[in-house]
């Protein structure tokens, strides 16, 4: 795992934790029977997990596009 990949994953985790906590704070679960949204740290942890996965996925997509672009530019003849 290189440095840029780590930045994407950690950034996604941070964003997910903030989004999960915000979801609990503004929407949440009033009855207390919801397993994820009834307690703030469950929602924040779930958001962090999803954010980390999303950050890793976005990094993979951008990395693949950069490789495709570099392969195409190398294969062109300057003639």
For residues 41-64, give the mean pLDDT.
Answer: 93
- Domain residue ranges of the chain, discontinuous segments joined by +: 10-59
Q: Which residues 6+ apart lie within 8 Å of 10 measured at CB?
A: 52, 55
Band of residue 75 on the pLDDT scale cut at 50, 70, 90: low
Question: Measured between alpha carbons, how far is residue 27 from residues 6, 22, 23, 30, 38 in Å?
Answer: 31, 8, 5, 9, 10
For residues 60-64, give the mean pLDDT.
Answer: 87
For residues 14-24, give the mean pLDDT.
Answer: 96
* Cβ atoms of residues 53 and 12 within 8 Å: yes
């Amino acid at each position: 795992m290189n440095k840029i990949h780590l930045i994407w994953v950690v950034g996604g985790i941070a964003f997910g934790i903030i989004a999960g906590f915000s979801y609990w704070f503004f929407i949440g679960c009033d009855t207390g029977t919801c397993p994820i949204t009834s307690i703030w740290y469950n929602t924040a942890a779930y958001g962090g997990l999803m954010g980390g996965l999303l950050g890793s996925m976005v990094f993979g997509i951008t990395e693949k596009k950069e490789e495709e672009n570099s392969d195409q530019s190398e294969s062109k003849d300057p003639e």
